[in-house]
Amino acid sequence: MLVDRTDAVRITMTDVSEGMCFSILVHPEDVGKLIGKQGRTARALRIIISGIGMKLKRRFSIDIEERERDSI
C-alpha cells in the first residue's frame, strides 16, 4: 500500500489541451510516501502512465497534491 490513509485519497481526471491530467489528492502525512525517496515512487507512477499514454496515443500527466487538513 502506498499510503496509510486510503480514505483520504481522491483522484480526479481533467481534460487538458495536450491530453489528460490526473490530480491525486492525499492526506498531508502521506504526500512523502507517495512521492518516495528522491521522487522514485512518483517517477515510477509517471513512467507507467506515460507508457499507457503511448499505447493509447494520448498524453497523460500526474499532479500530486496535499489535501487540506480540515477537508479530511
Q: Calculate what percentage of the chain has a pLDDT beyond 70.
A: 94
- Range 18-36 average pLDDT: 93
Average pLDDT over residues 16-43: 93
* pLDDT for position 65: 93
Q: Judge contact between 52 and 60, C-beta under 8 A.
A: yes
Q: pTM (2 decimals)?
A: 0.82
Indicate the average pLDDT of the chain: 91
Where do the domains of the chain lie?
A: 6-64
Q: Considering only CA atoms, which of 3, 12, 62 is closest in space to residue 31?
A: 3
User: Does position 29 have pLDDT exceeding 60, yes or no?
Assistant: yes
Q: Pick 6-64's CATH classification: 3.90.550.10, 3.30.300.20, 3.30.1330.10, 3.30.70.3420.
A: 3.30.300.20
Position 46, amino acid: R
36 against 68, higher pLDDT: 36
